[in-house]
């Protein structure tokens, strides 16, 4: 996708490439954990992959195409540059949210295991 035409230019292409690679790495790291039946590690890597692959685009749309922002910016070159920035903001917030969720639930899983 990053090789095709984009609205945000090279900034958007770089974000798509970086987070596409992160998505593939998360999937590649999660698969061996599933084969070894280490489901807690597999779960963590799949949450990261899900965040990069599926949850990122809605955040990108929120920041880049939020109606009041789009209405104020119009179709100017400045608005197009902002769309590239929106990709970085959306992906980083999604990745951060996924990591926070992993760390929050990791502690809960340890408490449940220790209690059992």
Task: Say how many C-beta atoms besides its own lie within 10 A of residue 38's C-beta.
Answer: 13
Query: Which tens digits make up the pLDDT trace of 50-103?
Result: 988 876 667 777 766 665 565 565 666 666 667 777 788 888 888 898 999 998
Specify the pLDDT at position 53: 84
Specify the pLDDT at position 31: 92
The residue-averaged pLDDT of 21-25 equals: 91
27, 58 Cβ separation under 8 angstroms: no
Q: Tell me the percentage of the chain whose pLDDT exceeds 90.
A: 23
């Amino acid at each position: 996708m990053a090789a095709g035409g984009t609205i945000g230019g090279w900034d958007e292409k770089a974000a798509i490439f970086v987070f596409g690679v992160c998505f593939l790495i998360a999937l590649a790291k999660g698969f061996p954990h599933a084969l070894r039946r280490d489901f807690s590690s597999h779960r963590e890597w799949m949450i990261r992959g899900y965040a990069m692959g599926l949850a990122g685009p809605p955040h990108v749309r929120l920041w880049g195409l939020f109606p009041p922002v789009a209405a104020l910016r119009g179709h100017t070159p400045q608005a197009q540059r902002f769309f590239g920035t929106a990709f970085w903001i959306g992906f980083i917030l999604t990745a951060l949210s996924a990591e926070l969720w992993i760390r929050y639930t990791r502690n809960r899983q340890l408490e449940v295991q220790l209690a059992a």
